[in-house]
Structure 1
Amino acid sequence: MWTEHEVKELLRQAGIPVPRGVRDPALAGALRAPLVLKAAGLLHKSDAGGVRLGLTHDTLGAAVAEMRERLGDGFLVEEQAPEGVELIAGLIRDPAFGPVLLAGLGGVWTEALRDTALRLCPISESDARRMLASLRGSSLLYGYRGRPAVDVDAVVKLLMTLAGPGGLWERLELGEFELNPVIATPSGVIAVDARYLPSPCPPSAAPRAGADFTPLFEPRAVAVVGASTSRPTFGNMFLDFYRAAGTPVVAVHPTAASIGGVPAVPTLASAEVDYALVAVPATACAEVVRQARGVPYTQVMSGGFGEAGRPDLEEALVAAAREAGTRLLGPNCMGVYCPKGRQTFVGGGVGPEGSVALISQSGGLAGEVIKVGERRGLAFSRVATLGNAADVTPAELLGWLSRDPSTAAVGLYLEDPRDGLALFSTLSSCPLPVVLLVGGRSGQGRRAAASHTGGMVSDARIWQALADQTGATLVTTQDALIGTLAYFQAHTPRLPGNPAPTRAAPGNAPSQPPSRSPGNPGPALTPRGLDPGERRMAGVLVVGPSGGAGVLAADAFDEAGLTLDPLPDDVLDDLRTLGLGAGSSLANPLEVPVGPRGRPDLVKEVIAAITGRLPYRDVVAHVNVQSFFTYGTTADPLLAYARHLGEVRGVRVTLVTRNGEFAPPGVEDELMAIAAGAGIPVYRSMEAAAIAVAAGQRFCGGTDGTA
Structure 2
Amino acid sequence: MTPHRTEDTALPDLAGPSPTSSSGPIPLPEPEVKRLLEQAGIDVPRGAVAAAPDGLAAAASGLSAPLVLKAFGPGIVHKSDVGAVRLDLGAPDRLAAVAEEMRAALAAHGLRPAGFLVEEQAAPGVELIVGAVRDPSFGPVLMVGLGGVWTEALGDTSLRLCPVGRTDVEAALAELRGAALLDGVRGGTPVDRTALTELILAVGGRGGLVERLGNDWSELDLNPVVAGPRGATAVDARLLLAPGVRRPTGLSPARPRPTRVSRGPVTDTRSTDFTRLFAPRGIAVVGASASKSTFGNMFLAQYRALHAAHPHPPRLVAVHPRAHIIGGVRAVPSLAEVPDDVDYALVAVPADACVEAVRAAAGVPFVQVMSGGFGETGAAGAELERELLAAAKESGTRLLGPNCMGVYSPAGGQTFVGGDLSAPGHISLISQSGGLAGEVIKVGERRGLHFAKVATVGNCADVTPAELVRHLAADPETHVLGLYLEDPREGRALFEEVSAVRGRLPVVALIGGRSAQGRRAAASHTGGMIGDARVWRALARQCGVVLVDGAGELIDALDFLDLHVRRPVGGGPDVLVIGPSGGAGVLAADAFDAAGMRLGTIGHQAQEALRDLGLGAGTSLSNPLEVPLGPRARKDLVRRAVEAVDAAGTLRSVWGAVSPFPDVVAHVNVQSFVTYGGRDRGAPSGAPEAAGPSSGLTGLLEYVDHIAALQSGLPRSRVTLVLRNAECGPPEVVDDARAAARAAGVPVYPTLEAAAGAVRAGKTVAHARTVI
TM-score (norm 1): 0.89
Distance 1:139 1:571 in 2: 35
What is the one-letter code of the residue matched to 2:78?
A: H
Which whole-Å CA distance do the structure 2 matches of 1:29 and 1:335 have between them?
73
**8 Å contact kept, 1:297–1:329:** yes
Match of 1:601 in 2: 636
What letter is aligned with 2:516?
G
In the alignment, is the contact (CA less than 8 A) between 1:8 and 1:194 conserved in 2? yes
Residue of 146, 154, 159 corresponding to 1:118: 159
- Per the alignment, residue 16 of structure 2 pairs with none
Equivalent in the alignment of 2:392: 321
Q: Is the 8 A contact 1:694 1:703 kept in 2?
A: no
Pairs within 5 Å for 1:342-491: 342-430=413-501, 431-443=504-516, 459-491=532-564
What is the DSSP-based 3-state SS (H/G/I as helix, E as strand, rest coil) of the residue aligned with 1:175?
A: strand
Quickly say closer, same or farther: Cα 1:585–1:703, change in 2 above 3 A.
farther
Deviations 1:649-683 (A, max 9, x none): 22221111111111123222222111221111111
1:198 corresponding residue in structure 2? 241
Question: Percent identity over the alignment?
Answer: 59
Partner Cα separation in structure 2 for residue 44 and residue 704 of structure 1: 44
Contact 1:7 1:196 survives alignment (8 Å): yes
User: Aligned equivalents of 1:669 and 1:208: distance in 2?
Assistant: 48
Mapped partners of 1:458, 1:419: distance in 2: 12
Give the distance between the partners of 1:16 and 1:43, measured in 2 at CA.
21
2:176 alignment counterpart: 135
| Aligned residues of 2:556 and 2:758 also touching (Cα < 8 A) | yes
1:622 aligns to 2:667 (yes or no): yes
1:575 to 610, 613, 616: 610
Instruction: For residue 315 of structure 1, report the CA deviation from its aligned partner.
Output: 1.6
Report the alpha carbon displacement of residue 304 of structure 1 after superposing the two structures with TM. 1.1
> What is the Cα deviation at residue 128 of structure 1?
0.9
Q: Which residue does 2:199 correspond to in 1? A: 158
Does the C-alpha gap of structure 1 residues 114 and 16 become closer, same or farther in structure 2, counting only changes over 3 Å?
A: same
In 1, distance between residues paired with 2:768 and 2:465?
29
Aligned pair count reads 656
Correspondent of 1:221 among 282, 299, 303: 282
2:69 partner amino acid: L
Equivalent of residue 286 in structure 1, options 352, 355, 361: 355
Q: Does 1:40 align with 2:72?
A: yes
Q: 1:538 to 1:578 in 2, by over 3 A?
A: farther
Look up the equivalent residue of 1:350 and give its one-letter code: L
Deviates more, 1:626-635 or 1:243-252: 243-252
Q: Residues 55 and 175 of structure 1: is their aligned pair in 2 closer, same or farther, counting only changes over 3 Å? A: same
Residue 209 (structure 2) aligned to one of 133, 153, 168: 168
Q: How far, CA to CA, are the matches of 1:46 and 1:22 in structure 2?
A: 20
User: What residue is the counterpart of 2:262 in the other structure?
Assistant: none
The amino acid across from 2:167 in the alignment is S
Quick check: 574-583 or 324-333, which moved more?
A: 574-583
Cα deviation for residue 575 of structure 1 reads: 1.8
Q: Aligned pair 1:147/2:205, yes or no? A: no
- 1:654 counterpart SS class: strand
How big is the shift at 1:22?
2.1
3-state secondary structure, aligned to 1:29? coil
- Are 1:696 and 2:737 counterparts? no
SS class of match (1:241): helix
AA partner of residue 114 (structure 1):
G
Deviation digits for residues 81-106 of structure 1 (CA, Å, limit 9, x no counterpart): 11111111001001110000001110
Residues 157-184 of structure 1 deviation map (CA, whole Å, 9 limit, x = unaligned): 1111110011111132231011101111
Per-residue CA shift, 1:354-381, capped at 9, x if unaligned?
1111110001111111111111121101
Is 1:249–2:316 an aligned residue pair?
A: yes
TM-superposition CA deviations, 1:394-415 (whole Å, max 9, x none): 1110111111111110110000
Equivalent residue in structure 2 for 1:187, among 223, 230, 253: 230
User: Does 1:552 find its partner at 2:590?
Assistant: no
Question: Structure 1 residue 588: deviation in Å?
Answer: 1.6
Aligned pair partner of 1:565 in 592, 600, 607: 600
CA distance in 1 between counterparts of 2:532 and 2:457 reads 20
Q: In 1, distance between residues paired with 2:141 and 2:283?
A: 43
**1:465-519 CA distance string (max 9 Å, x none):** 00000000001111110000000011125xxxxxxx99xxxxxxxxxxxxxxxxx
Whole-Å separation in 1 of the counterparts to 2:769 and 2:607: 27
What residue ranges of structure 1 are gaps of 5+ in the alignment?
448-456, 494-500, 503-525, 529-536
Counterpart in the other structure of 1:669? 735
Contact 1:84 1:184 in 2 (8 A): yes
Distance 2:573 2:645 in 1: 11
- Secondary structure of the corresponding residue to residue 631 of structure 1: helix
Partners of 1:153 and 1:678 in 2: CA distance? 48
Classify the secondary structure of the residue corresponding to 1:656: strand
Q: Confirm or deny: 8 A CA contact 2:512 2:519 kept in the other structure.
A: no
Is 1:652 aligned with 2:686?
no
Letter of the 2:182 counterpart: L
SS for the counterpart of 1:400 is helix
Write out per-residue CA displacement over residues 305-342 of structure 1, whole angstroms, 9 at most, x where no aligned residue. Answer: 11112222212212221222211111110011111112
What residue identity is the alignment partner of 1:14? A
* Pairwise CA distance, 1:187: 1.2
- Residue 59 of structure 1: CA displacement? 3.3
| Residue 643 (str. 1) matches residue 705 (str. 2) | yes
Normalised by the length of structure 2, the TM-score is 0.82
Q: CA deviation at 1:561?
A: 1.2
Question: How far 1:210 moved relative to its partner?
Answer: 2.6
In the alignment, structure 2 segments of 5+ residues that lack a partner are: 1-26, 51-55, 107-111, 246-265, 308-312, 521-529, 650-658, 680-696
1:210 aligns with 2:287: no
CA distance in 1 between counterparts of 2:242 and 2:71 reads 24
1:206 and 1:427 mapped to 2: Cα distance?
A: 14
What letter matches 2:48 in structure 1? V
Using the alignment, how far apart are the partners of 2:345 and 2:615 within structure 1? 63
- Inter-partner Cα distance in structure 2 for 1:579 and 1:311: 70
- The Cα of 1:352 is off from its aligned counterpart by 2.1
Q: d(CA) in 2 for partners of 1:663 and 1:703?
A: 39
The answer to whether residue 83 in structure 2 is matched with residue 49 in structure 1 is: yes
Aligned to 1:237: 298
Contact 1:556 1:690 in 2 (8 A): yes
d(CA) in 2 for partners of 1:328 and 1:538? 44
Residue 408 of structure 1 contacts residue 433 of structure 1 at CA under 8 Å; is this kept in 2? Answer: yes
> Aligned-pair distance for 1:692?
0.9
CA–CA distance in structure 2, aligned partners of residues 221 and 692 of structure 1: 39
Letter in 1 for 2:733: V
1:444–1:459 CA contact under 8 A, matched in 2 = no
Q: Are positions 1:260 and 2:322 aligned together?
A: no
Secondary structure of the residue aligned to 2:202 is helix
Q: Which has the larger radius of gyration?
A: 2
Shift of 1:594: 1.6
- Residues 546-604 of structure 1 show CA distances to partners (whole Å, capped at 9, x for unaligned) of 14211211111111111222223223233223221122111221111221112222222
Letter of the 2:77 counterpart:
L
Name 1:497's counterpart in structure 2: none
Q: Deviations over 1:381-400 (max 9, x none)?
A: 11110001111111110111
Match of 1:18 in 2: 44
Cα deviations by residue, 1:7-60 (Å, 9 ceiling, x for unpaired): 011111222111122222242222222121212110111111111111122532
Q: Cα distance, 1:144 vs. partner?
A: 1.8
- How far is 1:70 from its partner? 2.6
The CA distance in 2 between the partners of 1:659 and 1:53, in whole Å, is 66
The secondary structure found in structure 1 opposite 2:134 is: strand
SS of the residue corresponding to residue 443 of structure 2 reads: helix
